[in-house]
Every structure is written in C-alpha cells, then in structure tokens.
Amino acid sequence: MGAKLSGSGGGRHAVDAMSEINVTPFVDVMLVLLIIFMVAAPMAAVTVEVTLPPAIAKPSTNPPKPVYISIQAGGSIYLGDSKTDLTTLGDDLRANIGQRNPEKERIFIRGDKDVRYGDFMGVMNMLQDNGFYSVALIGLEE
C-alpha cells in the first residue's frame, strides 16, 4: 500500500492511504513473460524435414477378461457370477479361459472375511491340482 505525503487536509505531516492499484509491476511481469514465450516458441518447433515411413504394426490384442472366484461365508463358491462347487471348479475354469494356458492365467480370489480356512484351502488346492499357479487375493482398501 502506498501513502501520500501531500494533498488535501490534515496539516503538514498528515499521511493518507492511496486507494489506487499500481499496475506497473503487473505489466512489467507480463511483458517479460511475453518476450520469453516469443523467444522459446520457435525453439519448440521441429525444423528438420524428414519423410517418415508408414507404420505397419499389428494391432495389439485386448488382455483377457480376468477370472474371479468368490467364496461366501457359508462356503458357496462362485466363478464370476455363476455358482459352482469344489468338484466342478477345475472344469468350469478350463471352460472359462478357453484355449489360454492355465499356468500363465492369473486367478483372482475374493473371499468373505468369515470364510473358514478349510474352504479357502480347498479352493487353493483345487486350483493347483488343475494347473492354475498364479493366484491373486483381493482385499478391501481402507
């Protein structure tokens, strides 16, 4: 904030506050930025001409849909949204993944917090018996 030493009223040493905004520093900063951008813009442009060859790349395939196994608290097992049981889980998994390699397939397991350990280990043993060795456990982030 600036101050006026001379002006109307108040005596010889009266100091009044200025109510005007000083825009000179703002204009100075804007002019400096304008000059910087005017100098830097031509440097950002590519001036070397090159004839690029066409890119012929095979389109990438979408990753396979993840396989989820859900275990409810009562021991019910679901593959995706369809109910299954421990005896048919391996066949249902193979039908679900199709021709993909079971050893490279990642299986995501969602288990209720009240699932018995024996039910969980039954699913894990069934996965290993059928060649599914990559398993990910899903939990809730807090």
Report DSSP letters for the chain, one per residue. --EESSSSSS-TT--EE------HHHHHHHHHHHHHHHHHHHHHS--S---PPP---PPPPPPPPPEEEEE-TTS-EEETTEEE-TTTHHHHHHHHHTTS-TTT-EEEEEE-TT--HHHHHHHHHHHHHTT--EEEEE----
Residue 14 is predicted with a pLDDT of: 64
Residue 101 is predicted with a pLDDT of: 83
pTM: 0.55
Asked if residue 73 lies in contact with residue 115, where contact means CB atoms within 8 angstroms, the answer is yes
Which residue type, as a one-letter code, is found at position 8?
S
Residue 13 is predicted with a pLDDT of: 66
Residue 9 is predicted with a pLDDT of: 57
Residues of the chain with pLDDT under 50: none
Instruction: Count Cβ neighbours within 10 Å for each residue of 102-128 and write b for 16 or more, e otherwise.
Output: beebebebbbeeebeeebbebbbebbe
Of 60, 62, 59, 63, which is closest to residue 106 (Cα–Cα)? Answer: 63
